[in-house]
Amino acid sequence: MTRGVIRGARIASVGVCVPERVLTNEEISRTLDTSDEWIRARTGIRERRIAAADQAPSDLAAEAGARALQRAGLSAGDLDLVINSSLVPDMVFPATGAVVADRLGATGAGAFDVQAGCSGFVFALAAAVSFVGSGMYANVLVTGAEVVSRALDWHDRSTCVLFGDGAGAVVVTGDPDAAFTFDLGTDGAGMPFLNMPAGGARLPASLQTVAARQHFLTMNGREVFRFATRAVADSCTTVLAAAGVGVGDIDLFVPHQANLRIIDNVAKRLGIAPERLFTNLERYGNTSCASIPLCLAEAEETGRLKDGDRLLLAGFGAGLSWGTCVTTWKTR
């Protein structure tokens, strides 16, 4: 477990990109033994976005990144580093971040990927804040980009109804008066509960792995629920203590949008009132690494997130991993 306060960096802007295609629960129920009522009662999801056949995570991330740069008043040439987080990247290698940097025209910037499951955005944000806060870099772009729909078994109603596609990006820049407090952790013993078994070096692609449908996301929902409700609440408590603030000092809690039951359970354990909780799960589903920046963009646009608000962000996912942070939202 890693926790600590990092000073000298802030989020300068946020940008998002979601596919045009909307897939509703009702549409899924036409080909799968499920219903809108069943899905909404168990997950809180009504619809999700699905990427077009020619869209990859890097395409969505580059568009989200371009919008974030524009809002920050920066060009791609101002970037020192691009950090991407994806549960399902473009390919095993090279890093999707390298493709994003090239698409944006950030030819002089370094680029790499963070693979920390659905906690990836918070892990990548911690890296970006560390680089900027140390003075090593001035401007870092963090993207969370997903086309999880390509990794789903659309015959498995326990997983395929949960996820959606999309991307979000933030620009992290220097600010001597800003600070972040992070708590990052992983319990590798939970690896069997959420993974994609085949396609890597341990179980390379073969006729056998394809026939066994091992190239799809698999999840033990009960175990993930148990982990998330415990680990996320504990991590939030830890990071709040490290930041020297209480739950009552938080203006907006933005958790990873995995499942409404998990979100409500964590909020209840922490004692966070509904009006200080932000969710858009109903319309986007679980967009993995993209979920937190998608929420940040919408919260700011709708006036739920304002200059000076204290934020609590919480990610959790494959690993099993968790990542939480506290910071103050600064628009100038």
- What are the catalytic residues? 118, 256, 286
- Token output for 266: 């964590």
Type of residue at 248: G
If you search the block for the tokens 């939202």, which residue do you land on?
A: 329
| Spatial distance between the Cα atoms of 133 and 176, rounded to a whole number of angstroms | 8
Cite the beta strand spans of the chain per DSSP E: 2-17, 21-24, 47-50, 81-85, 110-114, 139-146, 166-186, 194-195, 218-219, 252-255, 310-317, 321-328
* Tokens coding 101: 């940097």
The number of C-alpha atoms within 13 Å of 284 and in the hemisphere containing its C-beta is 28
Task: Give the residue carrying structure tokens 């690993």.
Answer: 319
Query: Cα 92 to the chain's mean position, in Å?
Result: 19
Between CA 25 and CA 161 the distance in angstroms is: 8
